[in-house]
Amino acid sequence: MCQDMSSAPLKVYLATPRGFCAGVDRAIQIVERALERYGAPVYVRHEIVHNKHVVDRLKALGAIFVKELEQCPPDRPVVFSAHGVPKSVPAEARDRQMFFLDATCPLVSKVHVEAERHHDEGREIILIGHAGHPEVIGTMGQLPPGTVKLIETVEQARQFVPVDPENLAFVTQTTLSVDDTAEIVSALQARFPAIKVPHKEDICYATTNRQDAVKQVSGDCDLVLVIGSAKSSNSQRLVEVALRAGAKAAYLVDDASFVDWTWFENVRTLGISAGASAPENLIEGLVAAVSARFDAEVIESNGVRETVTFKLPKAVA
């Protein structure tokens, strides 16, 4: 796009809430406090959250990110990521007498507890989620192999053959599309009326709030940009939600440097949001980049104000 854009008017709608949720904030604080209290290096199993900028900043402070515990020395602290881990991971850490801190989001831990309760009560368990996602691996890993059946789509829900249709329960990944999940749940309940549902919806408040906020702005937008990692389930879902809600185009970008300015041709209204693991400074950088190229009017949407906080483990509180 070669023409001068600096005088072109552009309305920029900032979705609220956006960015960090309480679970992400807690996980990052656990790594930061561990570094302060125990010194560097502190090891972290897998990315603490799915955001390269967050991971790189923690690396600079002295965190070392590894894939498995065998890469960690036994005399240094190790932190488990916010997505949760299979039971075998803390068991291995205890066997090796390692000092570990579990940064699993409490809302993910709630799903783990639900799954275990259903298993203890003899039910077959369905997990609605995305194969290969760390949260799904962690949730399935709370119970013996083969115990939890994964369903990703409505079609799979329609084809699923349970052992006993009268003795089923489902749990869900916390970062799914609210609308997609509702369709899958409806399909399951239509086939299996006796299926046990979560006491409280498993999709977390932050995922729901961010999707609602994107819906609120997207119908008025020619373009929506979501800041977040391609690895981030909740960020990917925001792009899908924006398109379904009426945005003419929507893209996921790591930060402002990933924006293709040809996307802005004939764009007069822009929506901006960010996944739950994206820091606010990335949003500020995107707004600044847009404002440098357009006569931008930035409008903050009137969304839910989140006040949720989670306690830190005693070892770093």
CA triplet 224, 255, 216: central angle to 5 degrees? Answer: 25
The pLDDT value recorded for residue 5 is 62
Q: What is the pLDDT of residues 250-273, one digit of tens each?
A: 999 999 999 999 999 999 999 999
**Residue 296 pLDDT exceeds 70:** yes
Average pLDDT score, the chain: 96
Share of the chain above pLDDT 90, in %: 96
Integer angstrom CA distances of residue 168 from 105, 119, 148, 313: 26, 10, 11, 34
| Residue 212 to residue 206: CA distance in whole angstroms | 10
**Residue 4 pLDDT exceeds 60:** no
**Residue 171 pLDDT exceeds 90:** yes
| 238: its two tokens | 């925001």
Domain architecture of the chain: domains with CATH: 9-20+205-300 (3.40.1010.20), 22-102 (3.40.50.11270), 106-191 (3.40.1010.20)
| Nearest to 225, CA basis, from 245, 251, 261, 249 | 251
Q: What is the pLDDT of residues 84-137, one digit of tens each?
A: 999 999 999 999 999 999 999 999 999 999 999 999 999 999 999 999 999 999
Q: What is the pLDDT of residues 30-88, one digit of tens each?
A: 999 999 999 999 999 999 999 999 999 999 999 999 999 999 999 999 999 999 999 99
- Whether 135 sits among the annotated catalytic residues: the reply is yes
Of 68, 135, 297, 306, the active-site residue reads 135
Integer angstrom CA distances of residue 286 from 31, 215, 297: 27, 20, 14
